[in-house]
Amino acid sequence: MDSPVFISFITPVYNEEENIARMLANLFTVLNAHPEWNWEVILIEDGSKDKTLPVLKSEIPKYPHTRLIIHDQNKGYTCSLKDGMAAARGKYLMYVGADEEFDSSEIPDFVNIFLRDEADLVLGVRWQRNAYQLFRFFLSVIYIFLLNYLFRIRINDYNWSQAWSRKVLDRIDLTSKSLFVLPEIIVKAHDLGFRIKEIPSNHRGRQWGKSSVNLKIMGFALWEGLKFWSYRTSKRYKAGALLSDKL
């Protein structure tokens, strides 16, 4: 009988034909050094328009404990992330980007916090964003400031690599359809009293390609954030289901 999976690594992938092979090689350099984690990797190919899918199909046989979910058409980052969460079997889950902006060598910093039972959520914080253009940097700063102001919490980075305990995700009903999905997890986990820990993380910038994030996508995330703020201030708000509701 297989041992239970301790941690699942989830990576949505869209138009990353030049990045994904290197990303997987770097990821598995770390994971193969830690078989004691009893990990699995879940890749969600989100209807890429380039050669990402053929690259994935040629690379995946090199790596054990890896599953590929294929979307026939592009469904978006949030849908891909949720599909990965639903497929994951781990006690803990971690989101790792496919674009090589996150340095996989930092993964032990996240996992060790869970091994020491110090937190239920671990958030990577990009203290320096040297690879960002000035306009995107200011948009990010304003976005973080606004979310902290609206939700009356202090988080330094809402949309970078994160890791979650399964018990957090089991309590939360995720409703977001935008990039606000990661802030939604954080705010609801905070409201439910889960332990949140932030750790510094390096932002390396893209080696190839262009981010799909644009003003329209960021605007939709902000709109969902404002709707969630309105709901959170109402008497109807529930951060998550009671444990008895899950039994």
CA distance 39 to 32: 9
Chain centroid, CA 194 distance in Å:
17
Distance CA 95, CA 246 (A): 24
Can you tell me which residue has the tokens 């290197």? Answer: 22
How would you write the pLDDT of the chain (247 residues) with one tens digit per residue? 467 999 999 999 999 999 999 999 999 999 999 999 999 999 999 999 999 999 999 999 999 999 999 999 999 999 999 999 999 999 999 999 998 889 999 999 999 999 999 999 999 998 765 555 555 666 677 888 999 999 999 999 998 999 999 999 999 999 999 989 999 999 999 999 999 999 999 887 666 556 665 667 777 888 999 999 999 999 999 888 654 444 3
pLDDT tens-digit series, residues 73-110: 999 999 999 999 999 999 999 999 998 889 999 999 99
**Spatial separation of the C-alpha atoms in residues 179 and 183, rounded to whole Å:** 8
Rounded CA-CA distance 202/103 in Å is 7
Provide the domain count of the chain: 1
Helix (H) or strand (E) holding 71, with range, is: strand 66-71
DSSP state of 97: -
Residue 43 located in a structural domain: yes
The Cα–Cα gap between 9 and 95 comes to 6
Dump pLDDT digits (tens) for 1-21: 467 999 999 999 999 999 999
The predicted model scores a pTM of 0.90
Domain of 99?
A: 7-246
pLDDT in tens, 199-209: 999 887 666 55
Q: Which residues contact 59 (CB under 8 A, 6 or more apart)?
A: 20, 21, 24
Residue 1 within any structural domain of the chain: no
Neighbouring CB atoms inside 10 A of 124's CB total 24
CB 121 within 8 A of CB 162: yes
Q: How far apart are CA 131 and CA 164, in angstroms?
A: 27
CATH number of the domain residue 83 falls in? 3.90.550.10
